[in-house]
């Protein structure tokens, strides 16, 4: 009997600068069956960001058209200025192919996904401390001091969502954090809720 063939939907959240992108990139390097959903956004590309790799960059008009077409699994105004959204088609396609899909979205988006997709697994990446979080944001060098200030304030609100998640990983040592994420994926693949088809096949065989 084969293990479940549909993939896992992994919703990874945590404050900006905590290391979500770094951890997810490492997981994908090690596991080719792990895919990253590419979000759409109306914010301007940062230096080095590539269309279709980091985001699909949209005008507000294009984004609103996608909302009207119900093309998003979830979307929202994250910082009151820009839209961010998860295109639905890629996620459902990849899960059906048996690939695991990572959504790297804010906590409000994560909550919405869990409501419409209860089998999604919510993983919160926490910093070892708030001081270290700020140091990483500064070290990344992609935000202005004002943006760093705002994102640090946002971090407090995001951290409050930790109890609503299924797992928490503290990203202190990077290798440990990646191994913990690998362990979560391995365990969830074998979980009873993810293997109902396998279980029902066995039970059906016994009953008939």
Residues that bind ligand ADP (CB under 6 A): 14, 16-22, 136, 139-140, 171, 174
Contact present, 123 and 11 (Cβ < 8 Å): yes
- CB 17 → ligand 5GP: shortest distance, Å? 9
Q: Assign 3-class secondary structure to 124-144.
A: EEECCCHHHHHHHHHHHCCCC
Q: How far apart are CA 102 and CA 23, in angstroms?
A: 11
Question: What CA dihedral angle connects 164, 174, 21 and 78, to 10 degrees?
Answer: 40
> What residues from 3 to 42 belong to the interface with ligand 5GP (CB under 6 A)?
16, 39
What is the three-class DSSP state of 104?
strand
Q: Which of ligand ADP, ligand 5GP, none has residue 140 at its interface (CB below 5 to 8 Å by kind)?
A: ligand ADP
78 contributes a contact to ligand 5GP by CB under 6 A: yes
Closer by beta carbon to ligand 5GP, 7 or else 109 = 109
Q: Which of ligand 5GP, ligand ADP, none has residue 19 at its interface (CB below 5 to 8 Å by kind)?
A: ligand ADP
Q: Which of ligand 5GP, ligand ADP, none has residue 39 at its interface (CB below 5 to 8 Å by kind)?
A: ligand 5GP
Strands 72-77 and 83-87: antiparallel
Question: What CA dihedral angle connects 126, 136, 25 and 50, to 10 degrees?
Answer: 130
Other beta carbons within 10 Å of 45: 12
Q: Which of ligand ADP, ligand 5GP, none has residue 127 at its interface (CB below 5 to 8 Å by kind)?
A: none
Among 86, 120, 134, 137, binds ligand 5GP (CB under 6 A): 86
84 contributes a contact to ligand 5GP by CB under 6 A: yes
Q: How far apart are CA 48 and CA 24, in angstroms?
A: 18
Binding site for ligand 5GP (CB under 6 A): 16, 39, 43, 74, 76, 78, 84-86, 104-106, 109
């Amino acid at each position: 009997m084969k293990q479940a063939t549909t993939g896992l939907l992994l919703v990874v959240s945590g404050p900006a600068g905590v290391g979500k992108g770094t951890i997810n990139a490492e997981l994908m390097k090690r596991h080719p069956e792990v895919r990253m959903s590419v979000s759409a956004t109306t914010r301007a590309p940062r230096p080095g960001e590539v269309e279709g790799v980091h985001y699909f960059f949209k005008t507000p008009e294009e984004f609103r058209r996608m909302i009207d077409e119900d093309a998003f699994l979830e979307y929202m105004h994250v910082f009151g200025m820009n839209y961010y959204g998860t295109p639905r088609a890629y996620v459902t396609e990849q899960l059906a192919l048996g690939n695991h899909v990572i959504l790297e979205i804010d906590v409000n988006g994560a909550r919405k996904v869990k409501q419409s997709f209860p089998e999604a697994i919510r993983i919160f990446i926490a910093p070892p401390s708030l001081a270290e979080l700020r140091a990483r944001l500064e070290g990344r060098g992609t935000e202005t001091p004002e943006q760093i200030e705002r994102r640090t304030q946002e971090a407090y609100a995001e951290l409050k969502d930790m109890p609503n998640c299924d797992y928490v990983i503290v990203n202190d040592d990077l290798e440990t954090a990646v191994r913990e994420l690998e362990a979560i994926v391995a365990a969830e693949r074998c979980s009873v809720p993810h293997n109902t088809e396998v279980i029902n096949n066995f039970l059906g065989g016994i009953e008939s």
